[in-house]
Structures are given as structure tokens and as C-alpha cells.
Amino acid sequence: MTGYLRPATLADAVAAHAAHPDWMVLAGGTDLMVNANHRSAPPGIVDLCGCAELRGIVRDADTIRIAAGTTWLDIIGHEWVVAQVPILAAAAGEIGALQIQARGTIGGNIVTSSPVGDSLPVLLALDATLELASPRGRRDVPYRSFTTGYRTTVLAADELIAAITIPVPAAGTRLAWRKVGTRAAQSISKVMAAAAIHVEHGLISWARFGLGAVAERPIRAAAAEAAATGRPPDADTGRAVAVALADEIRPITDVRSAADYRLEVAQSLLMRFVINAGKLP
């Protein structure tokens, strides 16, 4: 019979996970429960849904901290998220539909680490940091160095994601997000792009581009970012970004989209983000 534990605190959750390393760590179940009736039961379940510490959003002057078990529904309508990092609220609002948003968690999206995880390009553009917890203590890992390959991460076997910390964007930062899929709801993306572009004295002082569904994992487009830096946010810079991007990503053709389509859409999105960054006050 499958075991079941519902720890009430993060410390208990960490202990339960450490005591039962082969048990499934389950939160909203929107990935792990898919076709559950056709799969063999795990030896046990560590259910994180009873852990109040893993739910909620707090902030200080410089950061917004989202506990890992916070649902998309909680994120979509949260006033600080909407005010400070609206692209995260926008991405959350495009995940699945109401039923999925009510159950799915931001930590689940991160630990599942699908190349098409909807929030992941946004977390890259926002330069989020993950707070990981284990019996050995806590450690912070920048999200940009969390993923290592196709659905692989640096998360140790005894670690849980406790929270996601997002720096409040500096004044002059333009944020952008776009998901391209077959339909608006319930569709797995063909291409996703997120951007944070900082404009100062008419020039892009830095840019962070996060992309999804164009590689084996969500990626930062470093060459495209470099192509934008120090230049005005205009069409010429947009074209330079697109050229740089073509050299650094190699999307694949699969059941959802084609390689050349994905590249062209990713290029168009970044170009548009750069141009729009110049139009905003």
C-alpha cells in the first residue's frame, strides 16, 4: 500500500523527504498525476499541500518572495506581483486554465523543469533566485544556474524548493512576455519569450532574455543580450538581436512545431520586445 504523509511544516516536509527518498513529493499534481491510473503507484507520497510555510507571498524593499507551493491562482491576482513583476502574473494567467491554475504551483513548475514550463522564461528574465532546503540546511541558487539539461537540475536528492525570490526590477526596466501556442488556454507552447530590458539615457544598459521551447531546457539568450547592450532600443538593434539569436539557439522540430518556425518566432518576439522598450516612457 502506498504510504502517505502530509507534513504541516517545512521542517517536517524536509524530514519526511529525507526519511523516504523514494516517495513522490506531490504538490498540485498537475504534472505528476497525469494519467495516474495508468501508472504504477509510488511507494509513498509526501504531500506538500498541508504546509502553510510553502504558500504565500511576502516582500521587502528589494524583493518579492514567493513560497514554492503558492498556486498560479494566488500569483495571478496578487497586487505586488501585478504591480512589480506583471510578466509573472501574465504568464501564470496563461497556464492551463482555471482548474490547473487553482492546483499548479510555481515550485512544481520549476522542479518539473520541462523545456516548455510556462513560468521558467519569466524567472530567467527576472533573475530569480531559488531557496533550497534540506536536512543539511538552506542554500540559495540563482535560477539561471538551476537547470542542467533536459528535465535535469542541480536540486539534490534530499532537497526541496522552499521559495523563489525575485528582485524588484530597477526603475527604467521594461518587462515583456509572450507565449505562442495553438490556442490561448490549455495549450503547450510552441515558443515562449520573456524580457527585462533596462533603458538609460536612450540606450539599453542591460537586457535579459529568457526563452522556452527552443532548447532542451529554458535558456537565457546570452549572445542576443550582448547584441542589445549599449545600443538604442530600436529596429536596428532588434535586427542585430535576431541575427545573434539565430547563432545561439537550435530549436527542434517535434509534434508541436517546426525548427524554422520556432526560430523565426523567437527572433520576432525579441525584436518586438526591443522595439517596444524604446516606445515606452
Instruction: Name beta bridge partners: 26.
Output: 47
Q: Could you tell me the maximum CA-CA distance found in the chain, to the nearest angstrom?
A: 65
Based on CB atoms, which residue is closest to another protein, 61 or 184?
184
Based on CB atoms, which residue is closest to another protein, 3 or 232?
3
The three three-digit cell numbers of residue 134, written as one number: 534540506
Cβ proximity of 65 and 59 under 8 Å: yes
- 158 Rama sector, left if φ>0, alpha if ψ -120 to 50, beta otherwise: alpha
Based on CB atoms, which residue is closest to another protein, 29 or 232?
29
Q: What per-residue string of b and e applies to 142-157 under the rule 16 or more CB within 10 Å gives b?
A: ebbebbeeeeebebee
Residue ranges that bind another protein, judged by CB under 8 A? 1-6, 26, 28-30, 33-38, 41-42, 44-45, 47, 49, 73, 96-100, 102-103, 184-186
Quickly tell me which residue has 498556486 as its cell: 71
Based on CB atoms, which residue is closest to another protein, 3 or 86?
3
CB 63, min distance to another protein, A: 28
CB 69, min distance to another protein, A: 12
Based on CB atoms, which residue is closest to another protein, 41 or 258?
41
CB 138, min distance to another protein, A: 26
- Strands 63-67 and 152-153 turn out to be unpaired
Q: Edge-to-edge, what's the strand order for the sheet holding 63-67? A: 57-59, 63-67, 160-167, 129-134, 137-142
Cβ proximity of 199 and 233 under 8 Å: yes
- Strands 137-142 and 147-149 turn out to be unpaired
CB 50, min distance to another protein, A: 9
Based on CB atoms, which residue is closest to another protein, 25 or 224?
25
Cα distance between residue 81 and residue 140, in whole Å: 21
CB 76, min distance to another protein, A: 12
CB 68, min distance to another protein, A: 17
CB 106, min distance to another protein, A: 17
